[in-house]
Amino acid sequence: MKKSINKEKKISKRKQSINKEKKISKRKKSINKEKKISKRKKSLQKSYNINFSEKKLSHIGAVNNFSYILSKFGYGYDMNKTLIKNRNELLDKYKTILIKKKNGYYLPKGIKLYHCSLENSFVVHDSISFFGLDSNISLWYCIEQDLVTYFEKKCIELKNITKQKIINCINNYYSNDYSSKKKYGYLYTFITQKDIKIKIIKNIINQPKLYSHCMKKKNVCFHPQFSYRGIPNHKNTPKIYGLSIEVTLFYPVYKDKLKLLKREKVDINKLFKNRNDKNYKPQNAIIKSSLKEYNK
């Protein structure tokens, strides 16, 4: 009888010990989860952007088939050692913001995305849309859009016009003929309403449209991207580059997961005048009185 009672006590004690260990393990997991959430919330408030100057960046420009094939194997734009270092640093920082699940990485609910346009209302279209994870890349893109629009108007007057003639005209036209006075763009700030599954592309790519994954309407691409202070590879564009993260997606598919927070007017003239200042903050070109909140 005593042996049976002692055995039961031992079993009971063992069970209590196991339950205690389970509770401790559960508590540790809960604490670790809270720490991760806290770390992510702090990270959500930060924007990472790397600025650097280079006289010449090899492997940048119009993507040809060979460089595209190389980039699929980890070569191409990222062969420059400085770029590899900057790119890896940027990706590592942004991974503290992302949520990792069994089936991949997600942009979490509550993260801001930025989009710049020359239109004073957000235009929804069926093609791919580009968003910056920081406002730097989106703001500098305002200059590129305005310059391309200006040069296209000038170059469209050519006789016997062809696509190649327009490209050559844009590439060779002098920016001195361009006036940025009274030119405005609009910065649209969105916030994610739900977690959004993404595909991380490690390579720096100028043309996400060349990646079949990015062109599937339900897919979202997350990749490093250059911000130029003018038209990419144009001889009058400053050799100052920003490295940011770009998110490409089909807006009509994800419009229910994105909320438009605000629209701000951007002084393109300020951006253009300060494009040669490596330390210039493009946010200074935002016209503060232009803020329009969207409460819908």
Compute the average pLDDT of residues 270-283. 92
| Most confident segment among 13-17, 89-93, 100-104, 194-198 | 194-198
Compute the average pLDDT of residues 211-238. 86
* Neighbouring C-beta atoms of residue 89, cutoff 10 Å: 13
State the Cα–Cα distance between residues 74 and 71, nearest whole angstrom: 5
pLDDT of res. 183: 87
Comparing 85-94, 123-132, 197-206, 285-294, the range with the smallest average pLDDT is 285-294
The pLDDT-based confidence of 159 (bands split at 50, 70, 90) is low
pLDDT of res. 237: 84
The pLDDT-based confidence of 294 (bands split at 50, 70, 90) is low
- Label each residue of 65-95 as H, E or C: HHHHHHHHCCCCHHHCHHHHHHHHHHHHHHC
Confidence check: pLDDT of 193 > 90: yes
pLDDT of res. 66: 44
The pLDDT-based confidence of 238 (bands split at 50, 70, 90) is confident
Of the candidates 296, 293, 289, 50, the residue with the CA atom closest to the CA atom of residue 184: 289
> Average pLDDT of the chain?
77
Compute and round to an integer the Cα radius of gyration of the chain. 25
Compute the average pLDDT of residues 143-151. 86
Q: Give the helix ranges, DSSP H, for 73-188.
A: 81-94, 135-155, 163-172
Comparing 26-30, 217-221, 233-237, 241-245, the range with the smallest average pLDDT is 26-30
Compute the average pLDDT of residues 270-287. 92
Q: Which residue has the higher pLDDT, 61 or 126?
A: 126
pLDDT of res. 131: 95
Q: Which residue has the higher pLDDT, 132 or 173?
A: 132
Contacts with 151 (C-beta within 8 Å, 6 or more apart), sequence order:
169, 170, 173, 178, 231
Each domain of the chain, given as residue ranges in start order, spans 49-142+182-293
Count the residues in the chain: 296
pLDDT of res. 222: 93
Q: What percent of the chain has pLDDT over 70?
A: 67
Q: What percent of the chain has pLDDT over 90?
A: 31
Q: Which residue has the higher pLDDT, 69 or 188?
A: 188
pTM: 0.74
162 Ramachandran zone, left/alpha/beta (phi>0; psi -120 to 50): beta
Task: Judge contact between 209 and 226, C-beta under 8 A.
Answer: no
pLDDT of res. 112: 94
